Chain A
Amino acid sequence: MTALKLAVVGAGPSAFYTVSRILSSLPAASARDVQVHMYDRVPAPHGLVRYGVAPDHPEVKNCINKFDQTAQDPRFSFFGNVLVDPTSTSSDQYPNAVPLPLTSLFPHYTHLLFAQGASQPLLLPMLPQAVAALSLVHWYTGHPAAPSTPPIPIDTIQHLTLIGHGNVSLDIARLLLRAPASLEQYNDLPRPVLHHLEKSTVKHVTIVGRRAPAQVSFTAKELRELMSLPDVSFEPIDSALLNTARTDDRLDRPKKRILDILSTGSKAKFGSTDKAWSLRFLRSPLEWHPGKKQLKLGQNSLTAHGQAEATGDEELFGTDSVVVSVGYRSEPSPGLKAWFDQTTGRIRNSNGRVMDSFGRVVQNVYASGWAATGARGVIAASMHSAYMTADNLLADLQAPVAEAVLSPLATDPLCGVPSPLHAAMGQVAGYDDWRTRAL
């Protein structure tokens, strides 16, 4: 039985839900017995709730109230603007953050939690000139690493193509298509972003996916929202494609409801509005030349297992700009090497317990959220992952996992924070600093 001094990498929902579960489960433990230090490479806490959730979805951000409660706990400290386990890429991206090697944490903590999410967008090698959707998301959420101007010239282009049938594509389409006046009510939308959106010339967004209507990753809420915009219409989907999708007897209720929404289409009749959007199915991008404004698409068919298979047929598709949104993986920083699975792009784990490359649990090292499960699911999914990890950490405090690999962390940890931070404390941001001044 040992006391707990936990370092947390990342300050998004999975970090906060794990920590809130741990602290609320140990109400009697004092700050002498239990301490949590949460690190994030940006100055402000809350991760994707702040820099991922669309600014016109403020109700999704209500979970911050719970995070604020956790942050009030005297056993909790937040250290923003600290880049744990830097890479050359992340050091370039966060030049103002204090670099902190992962190994420097080990003597100061008994436990380590990886909750840094999945920040690296998957790219398509055949589209080197396409823009990553993440840069647009960073732009419209006011992320500190984002440029001040939109990463695609929305004030000159008419037609935008998004690659990937997920919620990020729907968020981008919605923000570009809905009337800018309807966005004014959202305080989380940076005003410079709103001013750029007011000058947007985008009239049509096409979202391309390699598979069919029953294989989409976006969710009903985001789809219904886009279908309900008063002055935006949806190009009807070929009914044969929808009928084929419906014949799949493995469809669950969520998929059936999505097919119903797709079939009903938009409230506004296609062609009756100034702005519109379309979904294209069974297409994979092959080539994109911005100068020619032409995207080459390869046609696919669907295998019996629901996978895309190229038919060999190709087509040219006219568009002004191409943005790729096909998923994310965690960043394989050097300190993670023994625990990172290059194939899946996440930290190897068993129900939140980090494992080495031989599949052995590493004592006192944990992961939760997208860093552990891969980048799928909404905040509720990260919450469940976080609670599972927290419950396992708490169980391991009572009875450690048998046959676990010895922890690299301390059993009798040093006081305070790792020494590289001492000289740089002026650069480190506290939990509430973002409220009191622009960071």
Chain B
Amino acid sequence: MAPRRHTSLRTVPAYAFGPSRSLHTSSVRLHGPIERPPPGTGIKVTFQDSKGNLIKTVEVNEGDNLLDIAHEYDVDLEGACEGSVACSTCHVILRPEDFDRLEEPSDDENDMLDMAFGLTDTSRLGCQVKMRRDLDGLVATLPSATRNMFVDGKKAGKH
């Protein structure tokens, strides 16, 4: 093993501070591989947060899955394995009426859902939910973002 020279070293920008700076916090995302339908013609999908607050309602084409849809419309749904049913990061919770209209999840999908945080009886992997006309109006709830609060030596507290 002979590691190679660090080529980018000389280009590491010199670090310099100005006076106290304010760092603006927001989020940027890349867009997914699907196309948006012309407004008014698509199937409607609503994303909401774990408390039931509306994130957004978007229009999509038949066959698009919820993970790709979330990425196309900047909804904060992770897809670590990129839709290959090898992780649980695109877990969404559906309403019973939407869940029942879908085919049963496969064993492979259930195996991954077993590792999802906040698993419910109507949980699915977003990458496995493909939109159809009869699912128009589907509501997907993102699981709670605050998970396993973790404090060594004492119970979780506020800081």
Asked whether any CB of chain A lies closer than 8 Å to the CB of B87, the reply is yes
Residue-wise, chain A 281-310 has the 8 Å CB interface mask toward B (1 for contact) of 000000000000000000000000000000
B27 near A1 with CB under 8 A, answer no
CB under 8 Å from chain A, chain B span 54-89:
78, 80-82, 84-89
Decide if A351 touches B150 in the complex (CB within 8 Å). yes
How far is it, in angstroms, between the C-alpha of A62 and the C-alpha of B83 when the chains are bound?
9
Within 8 A of A (CB), among B71-114: 78, 80-82, 84-89, 107-108, 110-112, 114
State whether B8 touches A430 (Cβ < 8 A): yes
Near B by CB (< 8 A), chain A positions 332-382 give: 341, 344, 346, 348-353, 355, 359, 361, 372-373, 378-381
Contact between A384 and B148, CB atoms less than 8 A apart: yes
Residues of B within 8 A of A81 (CB): 3
Q: A352 CA to B156 CA in the complex, in Å?
A: 12
CA distance A249 to B85 in the complex (A): 29
Q: Is the CB of A33 within 8 A of B23?
A: yes
Residues from chain B with a CB closer than 8 A to the CB of A373 are 150
Q: What is the CA–CA distance of A80 and B8 in the complex, to the nearest angstrom? A: 12
Bin chain A's interface residue count: 35 or more
- From A112-120, A150-158, A171-179, A219-227, the one touching the partner chain is A219-227
How many Å lie between the Cα of A378 and that of B116 in the bound state?
10
**Interface residue from A1, A379, A433 paired with B80 (Cβ < 8 Å):** A379
* Contact with B23, one of A3, A5, A253 (Cβ below 8 angstroms): A3
Check if A385 sits within 8 Å of B150, measured CB to CB: yes
B51 within 8 A of A: no
A29 touches B111 (CB 8 A): no
Q: Does A65 contact B (CB under 8 A)?
A: yes
A425, B20: Cβ atoms closer than 8 Å: no
Interface size class of B (residues with CB under 8 A): 35 or more
- The secondary structure that dominates the A interface is mixed
- Tell me which residues across on chain B come within 8 A of A181, comparing CB atoms: none
Interface residues of B in 1-59 (CB under 8 A from A): 1-9, 12-18, 20-30
- By a CB distance below 8 angstroms, the chain A residues around B148 are 384
* B111: contacting residue among A24, A219, A394, CB under 8 A: A219
Report if A254 contacts B (CB, 8 A): yes
User: Is A27 a contact of B87 with CB atoms below 8 Å?
Assistant: no
> Contacts of A413 on B, CB cut-off 8 Å?
15, 17
Collect the chain A residues with CB atoms within 8 Å of residue B150's CB: 349-352, 372-373, 385, 388
Residue of A nearest to B12 (CB): A77
Q: Could you give 22 example pairs across A and B, Cβ below 8 Å? A: A1-B21, A1-B22, A2-B21, A3-B21, A24-B28, A25-B27, A26-B24, A32-B13, A43-B4, A60-B87, A63-B81, A77-B12, A144-B1, A221-B112, A254-B114, A359-B152, A359-B153, A380-B117, A384-B148, A425-B9, A427-B3, A430-B7
Interface residues of B (CB under 8 A from A): 1-9, 12-18, 20-30, 78, 80-82, 84-89, 107-108, 110-112, 114-117, 119, 145-154, 156-157, 159
Chain A interface residues toward B at CB < 8 A = 1-5, 24-29, 31-35, 43, 57, 59-60, 62-63, 65-66, 69, 74, 77, 79-81, 96, 144, 219-221, 224, 253-254, 257, 341, 344, 346, 348-353, 355, 359, 361, 372-373, 378-381, 383-385, 387-388, 392, 394, 397-398, 401-402, 412-417, 425-431, 433, 436-439
3 smallest CB-CB distances across A and B, nearest first, come from A254-B114, A59-B84, A428-B6
A3-B18, A43-B4, A220-B110 given. 6 additional CB < 8 A pairs? A220-B114, A378-B87, A380-B115, A388-B147, A426-B5, A430-B7
